[in-house]
């Protein structure tokens, strides 16, 4: 171990390099999704934009085919939020993160108090494995078994109790559809497990989000007591002190570029894990701007990176059949930044203009 200090820009550049944001990579879409340990995907389109901004020549049809062919799935995992992951990671990550998802259920039992949860899970599994169903359809059928109970609460409980995947066309670029669910076991034709070890997942986290603190890893995963994991991994890690005096850990051979290396402008989608996967996010976004990103309805804005840091938000607007990118910077932009954003934004417009449905 070491007490070497690692500054804010050094942390930023290390993170950007591992997130494939300093330079686009030539990598298959599914390999990139696995490298990132999944991509947050409450909405269908953000993973596509997230891969476009990270991969050279990314075509949305490549990821769409992986979803349609059941090699990638959308399922609640880290932080009890929907992630797009490979089928392999789904089977290993869901058992590991089940305690996180359980907290989401047992922390809000309103509407299901007194119900036998094992019986509810059994009934929900039978209905969803009979045929995929929306939450409304599932709740209505469960309400017949538990009359007088709120159908939405019954369906929400089953979503926590069982590993439910959202099936196509939901999540497929250019298509639309309600979130329709079945179990991961039926969809993938394999049982869950064995669960990934927390040690393995922490190592993967550091490889993609490091250097990072114990609290950072807990924020990303939703898991608790990771101090024990870091304790076991200690001999395999190096540590630093960041500018705020926190101890941050890393893999010895992980890339840590020169802090002054150029970082090109990048457009990140809503919910991008670059923004959400640390307790202290000051090496990505200034504290005063962090609060502006999360809205009351749980949305997290799409963001613009300039010199590696979040410097504004962006959105797509359509008028008369044409797409346009609207950027709202946090402050005045230099001419060079405006020109660079315009060039990158024009490429993004061409990408999103192909979205239909």
Read out DSSP for 163-202?
-EEEPTTTT-TT-----EEEEHHHHHTS---SPPPHHHHH
pLDDT value, residue 72: 98
Q: Per-residue pLDDT for 65 more than 50?
A: yes
pLDDT value, residue 176: 83
As a whole number of Å, the CA-based R_g of the chain is 21
> Cα-flanking dihedrals φ and ψ of residue 326, to 5°?
-110, 120
Pairing of strands 266-268, 247-250: unpaired
The predicted model gives 10-23 an average pLDDT of 98
Is residue 213 classed exposed, middle or buried when 0-12, 13-18 and 19+ CB atoms within 10 A define those classes? buried
| Whether the model pTM is above 0.85 | yes
The predicted model gives 47-63 an average pLDDT of 97
151 near 140, Cβ under 8 Å?
yes
Residue 299 binned pLDDT confidence (cut-offs 50, 70, 90):
confident
241 near 4, Cβ under 8 Å?
yes
Minimal CA–CA distance to 44: which of 24, 62, 64, 29? 64
First to last CA, the chain: 53
| d(C-alpha 273, C-alpha 167), whole Å | 22
Please name the residues in contact with 342: beta carbons below 8 A apart, sequence gap of 6 or more.
Answer: none
In this structure, what DSSP letter does residue 41 have?
-
Please name the residues in contact with 354: beta carbons below 8 A apart, sequence gap of 6 or more.
Answer: 60, 174
Cα distances from 76 to residues 99, 144, 273, 308, in angstroms, run: 12, 26, 14, 29
Q: Per-residue pLDDT for 320 more than 80?
A: no
pLDDT value, residue 295: 59
Residue 148 binned pLDDT confidence (cut-offs 50, 70, 90):
very high
| d(C-alpha 329, C-alpha 340), whole Å | 14
């Amino acid at each position: 171990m070491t007490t070497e200090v690692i500054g804010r820009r050094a942390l930023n550049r290390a993170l950007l390099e591992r997130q494939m944001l300093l330079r686009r990579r030539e990598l298959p879409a599914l390999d990139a999704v696995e490298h990132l340990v999944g991509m947050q995907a409450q909405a269908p389109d953000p993973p596509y934009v997230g891969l476009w901004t990270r991969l050279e020549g990314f075509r949305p049809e490549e990821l769409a085919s992986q979803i349609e062919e059941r090699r990638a799935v959308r399922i609640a995992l880290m932080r009890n939020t929907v992630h797009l992951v490979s089928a392999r990671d789904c089977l290993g990550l869901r058992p590991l993160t089940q305690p996180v998802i359980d907290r989401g259920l047992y922390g809000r039992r309103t509407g299901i108090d007194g119900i036998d949860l094992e019986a509810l899970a059994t009934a929900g599994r039978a209905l969803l494995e009979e045929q995929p169903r929306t939450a409304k359809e599932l709740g209505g059928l469960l309400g017949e078994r538990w009359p007088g109970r709120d159908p939405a609460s019954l369906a929400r409980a089953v979503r926590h109790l069982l590993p439910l995947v959202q099936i196509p066309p939901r999540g497929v670029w250019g298509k639309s559809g309600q979130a329709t669910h079945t179990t991961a076991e039926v969809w993938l034709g394999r049982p869950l497990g064995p669960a990934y070890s927390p040690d393995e997942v922490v190592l993967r986290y550091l490889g993609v989000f490091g250097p990072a603190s114990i609290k950072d890893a807990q924020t990303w995963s939703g898991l608790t007591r990771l101090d024990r994991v870091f304790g076991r991994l200690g001999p395999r890690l190096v540590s630093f002190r960041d500018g705020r005096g926190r101890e941050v850990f890393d893999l010895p051979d992980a890339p840590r570029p020169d802090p002054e290396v150029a970082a090109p402008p990048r457009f990140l989608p809503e919910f991008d894990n670059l923004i959400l996967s640390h307790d202290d996010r000051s090496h990505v976004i200034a504290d005063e701007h962090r609060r502006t990103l999360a809205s009351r309805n749980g949305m997290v804005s799409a963001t613009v990176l300039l010199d590696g840091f979040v410097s504004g938000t962006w959105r797509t607007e359509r008028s008369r059949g044409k797409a346009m990118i609207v950027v709202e910077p946090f402050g005045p932009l230099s001419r060079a930044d405006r020109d660079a954003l315009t060039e990158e934004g024009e490429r993004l417009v061409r990408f999103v203009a192909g979205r239909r449905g």
